[in-house]
Chains A and B, each alone.
Chain A
Amino acid sequence: MRLWLGTAAALCTAAALALSLPPLRSLIEQSMVWHMAVQMPLLMLAGALCGGWCSGSGGGSGGPRCLPALPRLQRFNRYGLSGFMLALCVTAFWMLPTSIDRAVVMPTVDAAKLATLWLAGLALQRSMQPAPAAVHLFFGGFALPMMLWLGLYMASADLRLCNAYALASQQQAGRALVGWTVVLALLWGAGWARSSQIKVPLQQHHGLR
């Protein structure tokens, strides 16, 4: 399991980095779908997988071998509050059309994008378990409608938001963003159904039968 997570984290990180370098860079320069709906989620996934690999599934004491500071940082991440806030701020920032254009044109901004989205994925992974239902609902209830709104707007607007992309590409990316919102909502719901908050009533229900 540990080896599998580590390999997956390395592969996702390498793939996301490769999309920012030639020859694959032309993909994210020409297609907003590759930039926003492939590379950005891939970066967060890579960070999250690395978090899972470093901590083990049990959380803090599992294996501080690769990132020894991680368990100590959890002191500042009670209930996953700072991790969720970091992920929300980072994803909201990279949804700004000005940020997307800058990442296409300016290599320094692109490097910042790679680092912050990867960290946001790591922070999110470190925050899922300590966060109670209220924190999940608060941040999920903020981030998912934000993504859905932007996705629907991009898919339907006739106005180009990014100077770097053609209108057709923006509309495709909008539809992809809506797709990601649905996938994330389903994953989040499935995670909840498995977690203790919902397991208890389910077991009781089972017991009554």
Chain B
Amino acid sequence: MADLPRTAPAFAEDTGLLGTFAATLGVLILGLAAAVWATDGGRSFTTEALRRSQVERTPQALPDFAVVDGSGQSRSLQGLWAAGGKVWIVDFVYTRCVTLCLSAGSSMQQLQAQIVAQGLASRVGLMTISFDPENDGPAALAAYVRRVRADPAVWQVLSLARPADRRRLLDSFGIMVVPAPGGEFEHNAALHLVSPPGLLLRILGLDQGAQALALAAP
């Protein structure tokens, strides 16, 4: 009986390195599997890349929202998307924005010029939706329309009619808005391609306007 405490560690010493090697390999395999799962097979290391590749593989049906435009008229977003059979290029802003939204605005302005020049207005529409409905009422939207010189035949500028829908709208597109210094917001800005039945087809970078237009009007 007195030998027992001594034989147990001795046995443990004798198992050698095999158990350690097996455990190390197991940990490594588990770790790699977790990383492969988290990064979509090593393709997407950021959430934004993940969101774009997921939508590209499986287009997502979008819910309906009540929206208002610069004239204060309330409409259904799905109704807008369905009317006219256009493919829409959608971006998100808050009109107080002075940083990233300027580049979003200018890439939409370039798209508008190209749509008009190529006569694509019947096939492609532009849509800017504010995610800041509390500050962006009809008056702010109208001011934004003037600032970016949006042509109402091509480019709709909208805000949510019910501020309570904000979270659901952002989640349905996969957008995260975070507060930034100076009372501003930062968000994953992009161009979202939406087809007539309200299907989110593709998400492209703000600098990929030409590709977005080629996809919307092939």
Chain A residues in 8 Å Cβ range of B12: 72, 75
**Contact A166 B19, CB 8 Å, known A75-B12, A93-B31, A96-B35:** no
| Stretch of A14-22, A82-90, A179-187 that contacts chain B | A82-90
Q: Indicate if the CB atoms of A81 and B24 lie closer than 8 Å.
A: yes
Contact across chains for A89 and B178 when beta carbons are under 8 A apart: no
Which residue on chain B has the smallest CB distance to residue A101?
A: B47
Q: Does A30 reach chain B (CB closer than 8 Å)? A: yes
B24 touches A82 (CB 8 A): yes
| A78 to B22 CA separation, bound complex (whole angstroms) | 11
Contacts A82-B24, A97-B47; A90 near B31 (Cβ below 8 A): yes
B23 CB–A CB distance under 8 Å: yes
Chain B residues within an 8 Å CB radius of A96 = 35, 38-39, 45
| 0/1 string, A128-155, CB within 8 A of B gives 1 | 0000000000000000000000000000
Docked CA distance A114–B27 (Å): 18
| A42 contacts partner chain B, Cβ-Cβ < 8 Å | no
Chain-B contact segment, one of A49-57, A156-164, A198-206? A156-164
Q: How far is the CA of A163 from the CA of B171 in the complex (A)?
A: 13
Q: Return the CB mask of B10-49 against A: 1 if under 8 Å, else 0.
A: 0010010101111110011011101100110000111110
A93 B34 Cβ-Cβ under 8 A: yes
**Given A161-B46, A163-B176, A165-B178, A85 and B27 contact (CB-CB distance below 8 Å):** yes
Cβ-based interface call for B180 (8 A):
yes
A98, B20: Cβ atoms under 8 Å? Answer: no
Q: Are A97 and B24 in contact (CB under 8 A)?
A: no
Interface contact A166-B179, CB-CB below 8 Å:
yes
Q: Which chain A residue has the least Cβ–Cβ distance from B175?
A: A163
Q: B interface, how many residues as a size bin?
A: 20 to 34
B218 interfacial by beta-carbon distance below 8 Å: no
- Known contacts: A93-B38, A163-B176, A166-B178. The answer to whether A98 contacts B47 by CB under 8 A is yes
Which of A79, A88, A160, A168 gathers most chain B CB within 10 Å?
A: A160
Write out the residue numbers on chain B whose beta carbons fall within 8 Å of the beta carbon of A166: 178-181, 186
Structural contact, A81 and B48, CB atoms closer than 8 A: no
B101-116 vs A, CB cutoff 8 Å, 1 = contact: the mask equals: 0000000000000000
Q: What is the bound-complex CA distance between A102 and B17, given in angstroms?
A: 37
B186 in complex: contacting residue of A76, A79, A161, A167, CB < 8 Å: A167
C-alpha spacing A72/B24, complex, angstroms: 16
Q: Which residue of B lies closest to A97 (CB)?
A: B46
B50 at the interface (CB under 8 A from A): yes
Whether a CB of chain A sits under 8 angstroms from the CB of B188 is: yes
B34 contact set on A, CB distance < 8 A:
89, 93
Q: Which residue of A lies closest to B15 (CB)?
A: A75
Determine if A163 and B47 form an interchain contact, defined as CB atoms under 8 angstroms apart.
yes
- Tell me if A162 and B46 are in contact (CB < 8 A): yes
In this complex, the member of A97, A99, A162 whose beta carbon has the largest number of chain B beta carbons within 10 angstroms is: A97
Chain B residues lying within 8 Å of A82, measured Cβ to Cβ, are 20, 23-24, 27
Given A166-B180, A166-B181, check contact A76 B20 (CB 8 Å): yes
> A89 near B176 (CB under 8 angstroms)?
no
Assuming A76-B19, A163-B46, A166-B180, what are 9 further A-B pairs, CB within 8 angstroms?
Answer: A75-B12, A75-B19, A79-B20, A96-B39, A98-B44, A160-B48, A160-B188, A164-B178, A165-B178
Binding site for A on B (CB under 8 A): 9, 12, 15, 17, 19-24, 27-28, 30-32, 34-35, 38-39, 44-48, 50, 176, 178-181, 186-188
Residues of chain A whose beta carbon lies under 8 Å from any beta carbon of chain B: 30, 60, 72, 75-79, 81-82, 85-86, 88-90, 92-93, 96-99, 101-102, 105, 160-168
**A to B CB contacts below 8 Å, 13 in the list:** A72-B12, A81-B23, A82-B27, A85-B31, A86-B27, A89-B31, A89-B32, A89-B35, A90-B31, A93-B35, A98-B45, A163-B47, A165-B178
